[in-house]
Structure formats: structure tokens, C-alpha cells
Amino acid sequence: MVVETQTYDPSASSSFAVTVDVVVLTMSQGRLHVLLVRRGVPPFEGMWAIPGGFKRPDETLDEAAHRELLEETGVDGASLLRQFGAYGDPGRDPRMNVVTVAYLAVLRAVRSLAAGTDAAEAALVPVARALGGKVELAFDHARILRDAVAQVRVDLELTGMATAFVGPTFTLTELRAVFEEVWGVRLDPANFRRSLLAVSGWVVPTGRRAQPGASGGRPAELYRAGRRWRHGAPIAARGTRRGSG
């Protein structure tokens, strides 16, 4: 039996555009920050936004996310980008019907910011300010940022994401600050230290110490991440220590 193939008419369907938006989170001076750009063109000219832009016909979503992040901020985070959501509510973009695919990247440090293309400025902004009404974000980027932070809160407990926020070597204070900032809690330093050191494999002493602080005193010991981070984190979101499993 021969089945007749009907010719598809693209004009019969409503058209829409596809964009990518990249949420870059990092720790700076003990606080969780997000990388934002100030829009240099309409719509929402002059407002802060998550880096992103339109996907080109000849590129994949991942390629578009890499390109937009690099063009708008000067940051090359391609190897760390991963999708975490998609947003297509009608009216989210005043120009036309636009569906955006959101990406997340966690960086140990963000340096040498350089705004480009349609971004007038690029800067690290505390997440608490961006989500606390201190900074008005363009489009539905406040919602996207909230969802990104919510995803990181979950990942912090279930994966080794906490170590992505710190350098190859770190102090326990730096690592504790990651959990406190992302979860919005205060952890007892002594209990946190016991959680990390009670079971081998979470952190490995390097035999070196951090640079002395301005207040003087004995410099903190430096550690590197052990192999147990591949299977989760040493504490749960409620701040309790996990079993030795």
C-alpha cells in the first residue's frame, strides 16, 4: 500500500523565535553572585538582564549559549554550561513570541569582564540584590534566576557542586560559605568541620595553608576535594551530617 505524503506548509503554523539565556553563578567575597549585563538596546534598554540572545539557524543551542555568553560578557564557560529549563509564556518578550532555553554555569571565579554586542555593561551582582527587589531585571529573568538558584540548592545536596564554587584548593570556611549562601542558612563551624573530616574522602589535606588574613592569626589549612563528592555532599539541606555509608 502506498501512503501519499502531504506537503507540509510552514505558513500554517505560528512562527516564534528561540533564544538562550545563561545564568552564571559564582562566589565573591563570601556571597553568591550572578553575572548580569545592562542592556544597550530596546526592549528594556538600560535594565539589567541575564546574558543571552537569539539562536542562529546554523548553530545548536549549546553553541548559541557559548557564543552569547562570550560575546556579551567575555566569559568562556562553554564546558560548564548545562540546560535547566525552558520558558515560553506568551508576552514574555514584547518583540514577538519567543521561547528561551535557560542554561546554568557555576564558576570558581569570574575575571576580565568585557561587555559587547548589545550589552552596555557586564557586572557581578549579589543574588540577594537581584532577587530582593534591589535590581529590576528585564523580561522574565527574575523568574529564571530564581529557578536557577532553586536548582543549585538541590544540586548542592545531591551532587558535588559545592566544590565547583571554590578553587582547586580551599579552606573549610570557604566551602562552608557556599552552603550557607546557597541554602540561606548559618552552619555551626565546628559541626561542619566534623562533617567533612569524620569520614575520609570528602576533603584531603594539602599540607599547605592559606595566605594570612588582615587580622593576623594562624592561617587556615588548605584542602582539596576528595572522591566522595561524586556521590553527593557531606551534609543535608537541613544542615545535618550524612551517614558514613
CA distance 134 to 188: 29
Cβ proximity of 138 and 44 under 8 Å: yes
End-to-end alpha-carbon separation of the chain, Å? 61
Does the N-terminal peptide bond of residue 43 adopt cis geometry, omega within 30 degrees of 0?
yes
DSSP per-residue string spanning 147-212: HHHHHHHHHHHHSSGGGGSS-SSB-HHHHHHHHHHHHT----HHHHHHHHHSSTTSEEEEEEEPPP
CA 56 to chain centre: 23
Q: Which of 71, 121, 180, 221 is catalytic?
A: 121
Cβ proximity of 85 and 147 under 8 Å: yes
CA distance 129 to 145: 12
Q: Provide CB contacts within 8 A for 42, sequence distance 6+.
A: none
**34, β-bridge pairs:** 25, 125
**Sign of the dihedral defined by the CA atoms of residues 186, 190, 191, 196, in that order:** positive
Known catalytic membership, residue 136: no
- Name the residues annotated as catalytic: 121
